[in-house]
Structure 1
């Protein structure tokens, strides 16, 4: 099996890299030359285990084919080593809990939420995406209650990402509702991991964004009170099938509790989400946010915090109405 399987995986790689663009893409992803790829195919040289792992990552659509060809050879060893690495990183380091607790006790109130989220998201990204395969982690908050006491939407608050997202900590202006993975998780109070884009399209209320191939959301809850959720997206299909990764997402969502104020939590029975338009349709409304806040501060003689809350609520109403009109057409 060893010699025959070795030849078969080389033949499969040879077929894949017949496309010059694909050959260059793979070489770039592995950090090797296209000549090296050709030598692997011809049998002149053999890739190291590290390069085999990178090859699997660069060719997710062919991963199963490679493993079927060599279930007991070096390629499988590369996968086994990767799984072993994942299993060793199931817990948040204890020293990091101490760091978050210190920030919680000493940060000024005005910096409390954003700074603690920043610290937690950086560590979560480092641990959940150590090889920088492409991940985005976002804190999603419940919007303010409407006059009837119900929560009708969520809002992406802060996030970080590795390429291709490549986001630093930033204020997000995107509303989410019942049409989203976050909406499903916040409404039910239960976590959900979606292995692939195709499965999400068929079974769950998810709007996929560019590059996103798998996703997981975990509620940020205290007993039966909910403040939002932690949303994690990956460029890799099947990324959240790993129980170790699911456990880490849970731990980081639970750790985020310390970033929220007590009045940010709402009874789960008060969640009554509407539907929100896609981001492309939200953009024209959200682009005027800062100007509207400035105008409101002058007109109503309120501070920036009060003005922002008023405008967020106005925007929520406008977008809910916009989607309702769209749904009735």
Structure 2
């Protein structure tokens, strides 16, 4: 990728905090803790990046440095070609931010009036503002509560309003910190569909941090995992599954109880403890496909039913964290 396509360029990023621990009745010990420790990261224009990790891993701290809220202790940071802290005002006009429970909307004003005020704050031409608002209204179903004061909105309604507010000035990159936390199923689906469509358009880079791994599976092609301030994985979900031994499973229900060898060379089977006619085969990475396994079984045993179980990302992430420690 060329430099002109690089929206975020981070090298050796580090953020230290001073923590005081009580060591006696009147004494405290000062400890320096690195919340982010040597992160290197490049994000290209139009990417949708999942940035995840356990609590305290450094996710939110990284986002706060990328948006100019926190000053790095060391390292180099460029977002949209700007150094975030000294160029914070200029950067604000080129990024959008949604930070969990923190609101940029005016609490006592109707949602519609908040949007209008933001147009003046960011000095957005009226026609551009109207076009972006129209798209958000249609995709996020804003009209039914656009005249409701923000304080009276449900969490799901307010999050849809926050996403709209973050995009009305046409940012080059959108930072999202836990955008679906606490949302009901309907609101989650609305937010995910909207973000997927925004990513497909390709004109807004999206960085998403979340504990909801379903968001990552459905939205992000690239996944960066951080743990104890260090990047421990940067790549696709498929690469993550492959690296940490994730397996697709093929569950077969047979006409008769299984009596043969459970090691089929590309898959290893396990007989159900309650039903000897049900066998679960775990596929070895790269050795066999589900189709090949089913075709092989069909020529040797009587099949009643077959189902394929995709690997659970939560399990593979847990194994990654355990390995990183």
TM-score range, shorter chain: under 0.3
**Higher relative contact order (Cα pairs below 8 Å, separated by 6+ residues):** 2
TM-score, normalisation: structure 1: 0.24
Quick check: which one's helix share is greater?
1
Greater fraction of residues in strand: 2
